[in-house]
Structure 1
Amino acid sequence: MSTDTAGFYDDLAEHYHLIFEDWGRSIQRQAATLGPLLENKLAGGPLKILDCACGIGTQALGMAQRGHSVIATDLSKAAVRRAASEARKLGLEITFHVADMRNLSALPTSDFDAVLVGDNSLPHLLSDQDLSQALENISARLKPGGALLATIRDYDSLLATRPSFQGPTFYSENETRRIVHQVWDWDGNEYEVHLYLTWKSASLWASKHYASRYRALTRAELTQALESTGFAEIEWLMPETTTFYQPIVLAHKDHSTVEST
């Protein structure tokens, strides 16, 4: 993860919701899938959840609406400000911090029941060292037996085809029209995403371009990294069984894991 990643999300924060057909409904749909997965794995009352890549709040807001105690972090200051504003609008009590998932030591609390890393955030970590550092920090925030839930793109399939284009997707609501598309420039097992948002309000058109870099992280690579940092009971749930838009990985912190972060 580089400073460019923070800049990408700083720039995108104001318009991030435009990627979705209806961001509010997406919050509800994601919570309706991810919430029960954690609730069924971690029996008991409301969970203490850390969303360590919260963005503008897509997962954090939905989990809080389900009655869980949520603390949310992101490396983008602008995204955190936007997420905090959205939480206030909904009357939700969520504590927000600016933090890189590779260093969560500044958080005033730990012993989380679950850590959530949604929306393909882990593949921003371009090196094995960065990925391990993030997973070690996540493990240090979890109570023994706690769960990590992450969602990433299906890179096992994408590496076979290496698509250069995604979309365009057209949305229309009242007098507003939107076009969302992406261009992917591949470089080995990494790729740079160029995200384009174009929208019309009344008679005016506006267009924005954002760029960031990802690693095509396979399920085997992430599984190995999880095992190497003390996670166990690793389970992959695919879209055909969950109806979620990305593969989901669930892993538990081994009770015998020794804290080193």
Structure 2
Amino acid sequence: MPKASGVASFYDRLAADYHLIYADWDDGIARQGRALDAVIRAELGLDSARVLDCSCGIGTQAIGLGLRGHRVTGTDISTGAVTRAVREAALRGVALPAATADMRQLPFAAAQFDVVVSADNSLPHLLTAHDVHAALTEMRRVLRTDGLLILSTRPYDEILKARPASTPPQVAASPHGRSITFQLWDWHEDGERYDLEHFQLVPDGAGEWDVCVRRSTYWALSQGQLSSYVIEAEFARPRWLAPESTGFFQPVLTARAA
């Protein structure tokens, strides 16, 4: 993995503008919360699960699940993101206890949660099998027996076939007009990891653009690879759910704490 400080810096710099990835962030919160709530109810039959979102960012999934009645705790490697998540949750009437923490070293006793969530392509910031195993082992440790793991990543099985160099632009409303977000990708020689440049162009209200570029690195883990790592971390019954079946915007992997 890149140094934790590097990933934290990426999201600290992005935290104030992360919502501009969405055309309507509140709608995204509601849709993602509804989709993940349906997965939890189908798997565990719980109306109010104890949920840890261990890569909560600015709170998209955590707030969405809180609005659906779940008791959510958030952690993230970025202090800036966690601070905003707590503030945004409070504005929407959701209690979100949260802390800055690396998913490879979670600050909780064993068996504290019914569900652990790591969504929106967070796990692929980990660039080695050792780090992926460390994170999944920690997620398993804080789950109760037969608790539910929920992961989501980009659709890397498809992406690995094409190895694209960029993403389509995303347009969102900002105070002075439309903002534009897009990414440029540079693939490593191994064909699995890629460096990402995250561009955001935001109108400044004076006819000019504020341009911010943030950089990070990801590991394009295939579904087979990630399922294998989940089993090695003592989870059982890994299962991939397609966006068409869940309503979530990425493929979702579920597994149970063995």
TM-score tier, shorter chain, comes to over 0.9
**1:94 corresponding residue in structure 2:** 96
1:94 Cα deviation from its structure 2 partner? 1.2
1:111 Cα deviation from its structure 2 partner? 2.3
**1:253 corresponding residue in structure 2:** 257
1:241 Cα deviation from its structure 2 partner? 2.6
**1:170 corresponding residue in structure 2:** 171
Matches within 5 A, 1:225-244: 225-244=229-248
- Which of 25, 28, 47 is 1:26 aligned to? 28
1:212 aligns with 2:212: no
Cα deviation 1:15-68 (Å, max 9, x = unaligned)? 111111111110001011111111121123410000000000000001111111
Give the unaligned 5+ runs of structure 1: 255-261
Cα deviation 1:190-247 (Å, max 9, x = unaligned)? 0011111112253342111111100010101111001111111111001233342211
Q: Which amino acid aligns with 1:192?
A: D
Give the unaligned 5+ runs of structure 2: none
Aligned mates of 1:129, 1:209 — CA distance in 2: 29
Partner SS, residue 193 of structure 1:
strand
**2:121 corresponding residue in structure 1:** 120
Aligned mates of 2:165, 2:229 — CA distance in 1: 28
Aligned mates of 1:240, 1:41 — CA distance in 2: 18
**1:224 corresponding residue in structure 2:** 228
Q: Which amino acid aligns with 2:198?
A: L
C-alpha contact 1:177 1:201 (8 A) present in aligned 2: no
- Which of 196, 199, 213 is 2:199 aligned to? 196
Aligned mates of 1:171, 1:71 — CA distance in 2: 28
**2:6 corresponding residue in structure 1:** 4
Partner SS, residue 206 of structure 1:
strand
Aligned mates of 2:109, 2:224 — CA distance in 1: 33
Q: Which moved more, 1:67-76 or 1:238-247?
A: 238-247
TM-score relative to the length of structure 2? 0.94
Aligned mates of 2:210, 2:97 — CA distance in 1: 34
Percent identity, aligned pairs only? Answer: 38
Aligned mates of 2:206, 2:254 — CA distance in 1: 47
1:173 Cα deviation from its structure 2 partner? 6.4
Q: Which amino acid aligns with 1:191?
A: Y
**2:154 corresponding residue in structure 1:** 153
Cα deviation 1:102-130 (Å, max 9, x = unaligned)? 001x2367421100001000101100000
Q: Which amino acid aligns with 2:244?
A: E
C-alpha contact 1:80 1:96 (8 A) present in aligned 2: yes
Aligned mates of 2:234, 2:26 — CA distance in 1: 36
- Alignment length (residue pairs): 253
1:175 Cα deviation from its structure 2 partner? 5.0
